[in-house]
Chain A
Amino acid sequence: MRRRDVLRLSGAGLLLAACGVEGRGKSVDEGEFWTGKSRNGRLRWANWPGYMQDDRATIKAFEADSGIGVTYREVIQEMGPWFGKIQAPLAAGQSIGFDLMVMTNGIHLERCRRLGYLAPLDHGRLKNFAAHAGPGYKDPSYDPGNEFTVPYQAGITGIAYNTKYVDEEITSISQLFDPRYKGRVGMMSDSQELGNFGMFLLGIDPEKSTRADWERAAGKLREQRDSGIVRKYYEQNYVDAVSKGDVWLTMAWSGDVYSLTSPDVRFVVPEEGGTIWTDNLCVPVTAENPVDALALMDWLYVPEHNAPLTEFVNYITPVPAVRDIIARHAAQATGEEKEDLARLSESPLVFPSEGDMARLRHYRRFSQEEATEYQKIFQAIVRGA
């Protein structure tokens, strides 16, 4: 390779070297956003796979009720990549091709809020949300006053363990640090999930944690890793590993364990605490059909509309009245379906007990600087540094 060739290739680059990457979008005023907007009879909805019945029954019912035609796409795989994909068009004020999307509370949702990428919701059009959302799902700490989001489904991060290999009862996070399970413990690679468990171990509420707390928690987690207790940091596929016995106990999400239907694998909310996370419906600020999006949000909060969805998804619904409806469905059903529905309506994983709920904490919210620091501290553990 000669120098001239390099120069020739990099010439084009220097031309563009002047451009920076846009940061903050303009913050949008609620009243301003909704003036002059009306129903268009169309809605494009981006969701995760597995969050809607195979036959799209709930969408069909909504279409029939509202006359709004829905284009439903299962395009969201993970929060990081999804944010990476929508960031550039939203910063440029362009449509992302969707009017409604489902985002997990956490660092990326917080970024979207701060960057002005989300439309402020008009609660005048969300009457059913006001009437039927459970108290734990209104005014959440990650989105005060539900300014930008309403919950779609929620889940708990706790511990799953395989009773074929673990012969004691698992009740505490400290057992994830027990040397007798050397090479048999799974942790999550997500820095918020991982950090939270480190802090729970030390008796710190992650939501109120400080930088010094993060360092202490990271120290514990590093110890756990270096003494060979951690077999792997999982992004998703720990369910497979714990049910086969590759790991014996692992951090886990409630819905995954519920849908496993394995008698050997048990899920617990640790006594030190667990986290509840929420997947939220929100409207990108460049949405073309925002009013139709609000109509869907509100429609989903009618218990009768929500119940069939919960019967399929098996995560926690933000509409508590759904439980009675599922119990009623169970009473009417027969055979296998009856059993399934009964199990669902009684499951502490889908309808957590008061005691469990009391032990649950939310993710902490971060400023930009805090997020960077926090991630630096905990990602280093996952990456072996």
Chain B
Amino acid sequence: MVLPAGLWLLAFLVIPLSFMVSLSLQTGNLVDGFRQTLHWQNYADGLSTYGETFARSLWYGLLATVLCILLAYPAAYWIAFRAGRRKTMYLFLILLPYFVSFVLRTVAWRQVLSDNGPLLGPLRDHGPLPAGFHVLDTGFAVVAGLTYNFLPFMILPIYVALQRIDPRTVEAARDLYAGRAQAFGRVVLPLSLPGVFAGVIMTFVPASADFVNAEVLGGPGDTMIGNVIRAEYFESGAYPVASALSFTLTAILLVAIFVYARTLGTRGVLEAAR
């Protein structure tokens, strides 16, 4: 049953990616062409030049993921347990903004966060904010944008996992004199962990690799590694360097997720499975 999906990924992900792996070890330039020289230095250079940018990307990705959990869990919980029969409708409504192009969404964000926009304008003119205060073009705006853009990737899996929980198990816990918090902590939360786990992967990974939010909402000090990869590829035409940076990023994310799964994820997944 895995075969069709696996073959698809093999044909359209692994095989083309192997071109890029090969490319990441080459030297040369666009005009004279690139030659395979097994130049591992591309990786070392990338990591040493952009170490700080890598760290910033992971940090922003992590912040966005945590914020996503904090926002998504209550929302998913409410839909799964309190929304009654209109669950699908609410899910659909939450997703609706994401059917509209990200360009329009981020532009809308710029409108909202603008210095003289509906949010900050009045606060600065009549309130506590100092004159130079701004949100737009700061790291804060980038993280907010990431959180907003990747929220559905957290809500949906958590909802799916919560939805599976039979309310009767919660009732049973209450009958056994578990308090509200205890019932949640001992029953609901562990059972929903596979969803959180899936959500973390689907949020943290693409958020760390994102470039749109930093580009549109960030300032001079907020560049993420996605922006660097994009510039190396499109502007400099340094295809090997861009490829090497991409695989370095993929490897770092792989290790991060592996560590995460080891420390809490897997146990949660396995226990919830029983």
Contact = CB atoms under 8 A, between A and B. Distances in A.
Direct contact of A and B (CB under 8 A): yes
Interface of A: 1, 9-10, 12-24, 78, 80-81, 83-84, 87, 107, 111, 114-115, 182-183, 191, 225, 230-233, 235, 237, 240-241, 244-246, 368-369, 372, 375-376, 379, 382-385
Interface in B67-116: 107, 110, 114-116
B177 interface: no
Interface stretch (B30-38, B161-169, B201-209, B264-272): B30-38
Interface stretch (B15-23, B57-65, B151-159, B186-194): B15-23
Contact of A111 (B115, B222, B237, B238): B237
Interface of B: 14-15, 17-19, 21-23, 25-26, 28-36, 49-50, 53, 107, 110, 114-117, 132, 134, 136-137, 215-216, 218-223, 227-228, 231, 233-239, 254, 258
Please indicate which of the listed interface residues B23, B50, B115 has the most CB atoms of chain A within 10 Å of its own CB. Answer: B115
Q: Is the interface of B mostly helix, strand, loop or mixed?
A: mixed
A179 to B, nearest CB: 13
A23 B32 contact: yes
Contact of A20 (B35, B110, B132, B136): B35
Given A80-B233, A111-B31, 15 more contacts: A13-B18, A16-B19, A16-B22, A21-B23, A21-B34, A23-B31, A115-B31, A225-B220, A232-B219, A237-B216, A240-B107, A241-B110, A368-B32, A372-B29, A385-B53
Contacts of A369: 29
A115 B30 contact: yes
Minimum-distance CB pairs A-B, first 4: A23-B33, A80-B234, A13-B18, A17-B22
A148 to B, nearest CB: 16
5 contacts: A13-B18, A19-B36, A84-B234, A231-B137, A231-B219
Nearest to B21: A13
A246 B17 contact: no
B15 A12 contact: yes
A244 B30 contact: no
Nearest to A187: B220
Contacts of A107: 235
A232 B53 CA distance: 17
Contacts of A235: 215
A20 B50 CA distance: 26
A198 B49 CA distance: 24
A18 B34 CA distance: 11
A245 B120 CA distance: 12
Which of A9, A14, A232: most chain B Cβ within 10 A?
Answer: A232
A20 B36 contact: yes
B32 A16 contact: no
A13 B247 CA distance: 13
A12 B18 contact: yes
A41 to B, nearest CB: 35
A213 to B, nearest CB: 20
Contacts of A83: 234, 237
B18 A384 contact: no
Given A16-B19, A183-B134, A111 B110 contact: no
A1 B223 contact: no
A191 B19 contact: no
A270 B237 CA distance: 32
A21 B33 contact: yes
Nearest to A232: B137
B56 to A, nearest CB: 9
B34 A23 contact: yes
A225 B31 CA distance: 33
A369 B29 CA distance: 9
Contacts of B18: 10, 12-17
Nearest to B240: A21
Given A16-B19, A237-B107, A84 B32 contact: no
Contacts of A372: 29, 236, 238
Nearest to B120: A246
A244 B115 contact: yes
